[in-house]
Amino acid sequence: MRRIQVLGTGCPKCKTLTANAEAAVKALGIEATVEKVEKLVDIMKFGVMMTPALVVDGQVKSAGKVLSAEEIEKMLE
């Protein structure tokens, strides 16, 4: 099962990225967990300076922008 994490403090962009990640997982029909990481201490562990950020299976894939569901799907394929 894939693990997708959205790093961000709960801003509107972070919520949009979370929704897009969930939509991408649903569209692909894959087994994955989508979790929000909102604590600054936990976000800093990834070395991310800009949020929202997307982490897939422990690797930072994007930081500082809201990816569309389609862009996330391409990363997960």
Instruction: Write out pLDDT tens, residues 21-51.
Output: 999 999 999 999 999 999 999 999 999 999 9
The widest CA-to-CA distance across the chain, in whole angstroms, is 32
- Catalytic residue list: 11, 14
The b-or-e profile of 10-32 (16+ CB within 10 A means b, else e) is eeeebebbbebbbbbbeeeeeeb
The pTM score is: 0.94
Per-residue pLDDT band at 58 (split at 50, 70, 90): very high
Give 2-76's CATH code, choosing from 3.40.640.10, 3.40.50.300, 3.90.260.10, 3.40.30.10: 3.40.30.10
